[in-house]
A and B are shown apart, each in its own frame.
Chain A
Amino acid sequence: MQPILLIVFLPLLAALVAGLPNKHLPSVFAKSVTTGALILSCVLSWPIFLGFLNGTAQPSVVPVAQWVQSGTLTFDWALRVDTLTAVMLVVITTVSALVHIYSWGYMAEDPDQPRFFAYLSLFTFAMLMLVTADNLVQMFFGWEGVGLASYLLIGFWFRKPSANAAAIKAFVVNRVGDLGFMLGIFGTYLVFGTTSLTEINAAAAGMSGATIGFLGMRLQTMDVLCILLFIGAMGKSAQLGLHTWLPDAMEGPTPVSALIHAATMVTAGVFMVCRLSPMFEAAPVALALVTFIGAATCLFAATVGMTQWDIKRVIAYSTCSQLGYMFFAAGVGAYGVAMFHLFTHAFFKALLFLGAGSVIHAMHHEQDMRYYGALRRHIPLTFWAMLFGTLAITGVGIYGIGGFAGFHSKDAILEAAFARGTDMATFAFWTGTLVALLTSFYSWRLMFLTFWGRPRWSESEHIQHAVGHGHHSPEEGNPPRQESADMGSPHDVPGPDQHEGTAGYHPHESPVSMLVPLGVLTLGAIAAGFAFAPQFIDGARFWNGSIYYNEALIHALHAVPLPVKLAATIAMVLGLAFAWFAYIRDTSIPAKTAEQMGPIYRLFYNKWYFDDLYRAIFVRPAFWLGRQLWQRGDVGIIDRFGPNGAAWAVQQGSFAAKKLQNGYLYSYALVMLLGLVGAVTWVLV
């Protein structure tokens, strides 16, 4: 029995065993089965990863079963393990196992726990199928499988209309990306005659001069294919244009946000580009697009993240932004560096989300940071965990010595972009440096609003509810939550410090099951950077051909001038300084700034109006068109002139025929006479 089979299929088995009996068994059964399976998967994954790390393991493919054979189009179920897969294996199983454990505490009072844990395990299975795929179609299977799990988990509290809307939105927007992915697979099969990743990557360079007809145009083959596939990646990884679902996905329970919408699923797009890196390297235009979209998303999401009040949305936009970093790293050819940021990001972003979950848990489901403040002393362990997460995401470190996880990976990305030196890469470098400042600003803003200052809890309806109903009022399955930040009606004022007071509420630290995962992830946020930087960045042997490894670029990366190496750190310090001024030193600054910068602030606060735009040009017209096509098309034209028209004509005809047979002798005589005259005329003429 190959361990990879257990790693991948145990979560599926657990999901079925836990999910199908649903509430017929005590929830502790479902929780134990799924968590146990995930811990086992995790324990089995690390030796594989370590094997690749010290160079003893070799890539392998474990066949599972035949899938489809249609003419020359064949693809089978198989599990492929190489360095790239091994990296994803440890990320997925580790974060998933921790999230399972965390959910014991976080979801303790939810009546639907078996369903929740089954979904989590199902997601993990699909994600593992995605990263172990040996052909594009199995990757697509995993791709859609995680989409399904994401849909189910975003809509987990399915009584809430907002959760349902968010779930459908996530699925449908992802499907727009999938349209590209599917066409990309069709095109790849047409060009290469196979969907096998190994064969495509091997043959890609030879195809770099070929052209193909697409939508009536004649284009570079590899650019067409890679752009189509990248559209799929944009959907899954919430890149600019197809990002709108990710912030809404925060409707799901917070452990879900940590696992799916931060650490694993949303990084699938980055994984795909790295997996197909030899293919993308044959497609310069597609790579330029990847770089541009990455840099643009990076900036866009950071600007929105600076203005949001909902703690989870801030982290969601932060995720979107960090994914942009990963994409432009891949775009400039530094695939190992992109994967490195994916790896470190998984730890510190999961940590931040789970930390936010702990805060939300402590604040009785209040998610609006305007009602936080001064929580440092009340939930100290959560505070320390989030502090380390923030140090990691903002990239705190000292050049030449080392730093937290994000320091190593983000610096490497910026250096790679600078070292690459093309116009697009340089654009990405400057954007990335600016965003390092913004990242630092919004991350520290979150920390200061939440943990520093004075308590501002008294105006929160959640807190009032908690105080009014005793401290531990049981959480219903679908807590009728108030949509806080974006509705905005009672608190349109952008200042955080209007109402101070605790309302007599005492936040409580989270249970051990939630704190242990925070602790483990804190270790990751501290150490994942310096522990693995040599292998991820410089490890041509570590990657062992599983990605396109650009030796020259890595050399150039290490040789960039000192100011470039310090750029991210300087930006980080500036961002921290701004945040400190605005949210600790003089708390009136944010409101004033927002007022002075009115239009820009509103643009950022309203997420650049993407949602409104899409509603206006896609959603509403689709429903309007549907009604028109139905009422005017099907009923008004086709039925009216088709069957109903035919029936009407027959009826009219029969009325006319009926009139002819009126039984009056004189009219029959008249017809006879006319007929006779006609016949005689015809004969004579």
Chain B
Amino acid sequence: MGGLPILSLMLLVPLIAGIACLLVDARPARLIALGATLINLLLGIVLWLNFDIGGAQWQFQEYAPLFAGFSWALGVDGIALMLIMLSVFLMPFCILASWEAIRTRVGEYMAAFLFMEALMIGVFAAQDIFLFYIFFEAGLIPMYLIIGVWGGDDRIYASYKFFLYTLLGSVLMLIAMLWMVNVAGTSSIPALMEYDFAPAAQTWLWLAFFASFAVKMPMWPVHTWLPDAHVQAPTAGSVILAGVLLKMGGYGFIRFSLPMFPEASAQFTWLILGLSMAAIVITSLIALVQHDMKKLIAYSSVAHMAIVTAGLFAFNVQGLEGAMVMMLSHGLVSGALFLCVGVIYDRLHTREIARYGGLAINMPAYALFFLLFTMASIGLPGTSGFVAEFLSLAGVYQVSSWAALVLTTGIILAAGYMLYLYARVAYGEQRNADAAAMRDLNAREWVLLAPIAAAVLWMGVYPESFLAPMRQDIAMLEARLARAAPAGDANLVMGAPRAQSANAMATLPGAEHAGEGAH
């Protein structure tokens, strides 16, 4: 890639296209947005193909000092690469999903999405902690506008709730960042990842970052902005919210909290595991009683994100890799589920589950896609969701069998609420004439759903493609965490094996009490 600043280019393309969108009419704006996001997808593929797996930790680095130690520093490792790929992969679908649904202020809408894409790539690519902060916080603004301007009836409440919550942690995080840079003498993220802060300071720094990431994640009990934001956001807004914005919290934990504050992370392991356990049970039960499709999927997102946090704080390779795969998988699956909701919302303009029913009769192709994504959400083996859940929970089990037990109940509850949703939407009699008259997927909707379905199956059957780029980074992180990693509760103690197997019997035939009485 000799010299081509591909990451800056990936930031620049949507930025310029976004400005262009502000200046033109609806139709060209759509085309520009689609073109720009496709170009970025292509650039992303080039990035992935040229990523040297097992090579240098940081690749495609760019550096330009700006002022006062603040610099334009970009670069990716495998973890960032995968999340950038997720962002650029989902973006064209967002544009396509809004093709017909958005009719007012189309140029501004497309611009908001393009700016957001640039900011999200910036979050994952930033190597300067202040640059990260700017991208991280600025990413809220387009989302806030998307919900507030193009959202549903209650959009003002939702957007202000969204903003209030996510702003809460930011101030604390900024203060922590200033302190860190002051102490460590550098604002470079790679350098800070190797800097050892005093354990006492770590505790406060960890909490400051936690305030921000927990809200972004979102973790229970600071999750209540998410259902409202999802319900009010337009379809594409929900896709990007669930698909990428929720990943910024997880990325924050894996990029900042864990490597920079290993001791504090170990100290707070049980806070995280406890909140994750609470989240998975509570939000799953809440998802069970929802009447609004988007709200149900939003609550299920909180439950899935709890598996991410638990996996991250398992401090071992399986947990970390599982958490990363869960972020990617959830990005695809919940994004696709919101697209599925969007498909029928566009036809009937309601998210009320009870208004549908029997869609498998008149929309068989739609029902098949919806089933696939439902199963992926439940974590059926063969889909991405299984690899994610299995690895994360296998990691958690090594730390605590209690936590693993409670978190694994999620597989029962998820099956409950997702299948209940699916049965009410796709199965049963056709109760409403208007729902029964809806036509099956059109070509545009096929293009929306089929590639995501393929990606979900790919990640489920051959996850190596996604695990390989991250392997080295995860291994390094695990090595850094090793000194603080909590001991598991298993404590296997070897004993002298029994001389005989449980049902061994003396060879004399017919003797009724020949057994060794193992019971």
Nearest residue in B to A19 (C-beta to C-beta)? B368
Residue of B nearest to A180 (CB): B408
Instruction: Find chain A residues with CB under 8 A from B145 CB.
Output: none
- Mark contacts of B465-501 with chain A using CB atoms, 8 A cut-off: 1 yes-contact digit, 0 otherwise: 0010000000100100000000011111111111001
Asked whether B404 is an interface residue with its Cβ less than 8 Å from the other chain, the reply is: yes
Which residues on the B side are within 8 Å of A622 (C-beta)?
A: 285, 288, 413, 416
Taken together as a complex, chains A and B put the C-alpha atoms of A186 and B314 apart, in Å, by 13
**Given A71-B318, A145-B382: A172 and B490 within 8 A (CB)?**
no
Task: Please give, as numbers and ranges, the residues of chain A lying within 8 Å of B172 by CB-CB distance.
Answer: none
Which of these binds chain A: B3-11, B73-81, B241-249, B505-513? B505-513
Collect the chain A residues with CB atoms within 8 Å of residue B360's CB.
Answer: 158
Complex Cα–Cα for A171 and B282 (A): 21
Q: Does B132 contact A (CB under 8 A)?
A: no
A497 at interface by CB-CB < 8 Å: no
Contact B490 A190 (CB under 8 A): yes
The answer to whether B497 and A207 touch across the interface, beta carbons within 8 angstroms, is: yes
Find chain B residues with CB under 8 A from A333 CB: 501-503, 505
User: Which of B289, B382, B426, B428 lies in contact with A141, CB distance below 8 A?
Assistant: B382
Stretch at the interface among B54-62, B122-130, B385-393, B441-449: B385-393
Q: Say yes or no for A284: interface residue by CB 8 A criterion.
A: yes
Does A496 sit within 8 A of B, measured CB to CB?
no
Bound CA–CA A168/B322 (angstroms): 27
Q: Given A171-B419, A179-B408, A634 and B507 touching (CB < 8 A)? A: no
B515 close to A (CB within 8 Å):
yes
Report the Cα distance A555→B316, complex, angstroms: 49
Cβ-defined contact, B463 with A68, below 8 A: yes
A171 to B489, CA, bound (A): 31
Are B408 and A182 within 8 A (Cβ)? yes
Known: A141-B382, A190-B397, A191-B492. Is A183-B462 also a contact (CB below 8 A)? Answer: no
B358 interfacial contact with A, CB 8 Å: yes
Per the 8 Å Cβ criterion, residues 356-377 of B in contact with A are 358, 360-361, 364, 375
Chain A residues, CB < 8 A from B393: 182, 186
Known contacts A213-B489, A623-B288; is A421 also within 8 Å of B515 by CB? Answer: yes
- The chain B residue with its CB closest to the CB of A157 is B427
Q: Is the CB of A284 within 8 A of B497?
A: no
Could you say which of A69, A209, A548, A551 contacts B497, with CB atoms under 8 Å apart? Answer: A209
B314 to chain A, nearest CB (A): 11
**Contact between B289 and A420, CB atoms less than 8 A apart:** no
Q: In angstroms, how far is the closest chain A Cβ from the Cβ of B508? A: 8
In the complex the two chains form, is A183's CB within 8 Å of B391's CB? no
Kindly identify which residue among A73, A77, A159, A626 contacts B427, using a CB–CB cutoff of 8 Å: A159
**B491 contacts A213, C-beta separation under 8 Å:** yes
Which A residues lie within 8 Å of B286 (CB)? 626, 629-630, 633-634
B: contact size bracket:
35 or more
The answer for the CA separation of A154 and B230 in the assembled complex, in Å, is 34
Contact B224–A141 (Cβ < 8 Å): no
Interface segment, one of A39-47, A449-457, A597-605, A638-646:
A638-646
B317 at the interface (CB under 8 A from A): yes
Closest 7 CB pairs of A and B: A333-B503, A209-B495, A71-B317, A281-B501, A186-B397, A626-B289, A559-B510
A and B contact pairs by CB, cutoff 8 A, 11 listed: A159-B427, A167-B419, A186-B404, A211-B493, A278-B501, A281-B503, A283-B502, A287-B502, A422-B515, A552-B514, A643-B225
- Given A179-B412, A186-B404, A647-B164, 10 new contacts (CB under 8 A): A23-B364, A67-B462, A69-B464, A70-B467, A73-B391, A167-B423, A168-B423, A183-B405, A187-B397, A630-B286
Interface residues of B (CB under 8 A from A): 160-161, 164-165, 221-222, 224-225, 227, 282, 285-290, 316-318, 321-322, 358, 360-361, 364, 375, 380-382, 386-387, 390-391, 393-394, 397-398, 401-402, 404-405, 408-409, 411-413, 415-416, 419-420, 423, 426-429, 461-464, 467, 475, 478, 488-498, 501-507, 509-515, 517-519
| Interface of A toward B, CB cutoff 8 Å | 22-23, 65-73, 77, 137, 140-141, 144-145, 148, 151, 155, 158-159, 161, 164, 167-168, 171-172, 175-176, 178-179, 182-183, 185-187, 189-191, 205-216, 221, 278, 280-285, 287-288, 332-333, 419-424, 548, 550-553, 555-556, 558-560, 622-623, 625-627, 629-630, 633-634, 638-639, 642-643, 646-647
